[in-house]
Amino acid sequence: MDVSQAFDAAAGSYDAARRRLVPCFDDFYGTAVEVVAPPLRAALAAGRTPQVLDLGAGTGLLSSLIAAVVPEARLTLVDAAPKMLAVATEHLTGRGVPHRVVLADLADPLPEGRYDAVVSALAIHHLDDAGKRDLYRRAAEALTPGGVFVNAEQVAGPTAALDRRYHQVWLSQIVERGSDADEIAAAEQRMAYDRPAPVGEQCRWLTEVGLVDVDCFFKAWRFAVFGGHAPELPDSVRIG
Ligand X SMILES: C[S@@+](CC[C@H](N)C(=O)[O-])C[C@H]1O[C@@H](n2cnc3c(N)ncnc32)[C@H](O)[C@@H]1O
Q: Please state, in angstroms and rounded to a whole number, the distance separating the CA atoms of residues 8 and 4.
A: 6
Interface residue with ligand X among 7, 28, 149, 166 (CB under 6 A) is 7
- 201 is an interface residue for ligand X by CB under 6 A: no
Asked if 88 and 62 touch (Cβ cutoff 8 Å), the reply is no
Instruction: Show the DSSP H helices in the chain as ranges.
Output: 3-9, 14-21, 25-45, 61-69, 82-94, 129-141, 160-176, 181-191, 199-208
Pick from 49, 165, 164, 41: nearest CA to 98:
49
- 16-75 residues in contact with ligand X (CB under 6 A) are 56-58, 61-62
Number of chain positions touching ligand X (CB under 6 A) = 18
Q: Please state, in angstroms and rounded to a whole number, the distance separating the CA atoms of residues 123 and 54.
A: 10
Q: Which is nearer to ligand X, 134 or 213 (CB)?
A: 134
CB of 45 to ligand X, least distance (A): 28
Interface residue with ligand X among 24, 37, 53, 79 (CB under 6 A) is 79
Q: Which is nearer to ligand X, 146 or 154 (CB)?
A: 154
- 81 is an interface residue for ligand X by CB under 6 A: yes
Interface residue with ligand X among 123, 143, 148, 150 (CB under 6 A) is 123
Residues contributing to the site for ligand X (CB under 6 A): 3-4, 7, 56-58, 61-62, 79-81, 84, 105-106, 121-123, 126
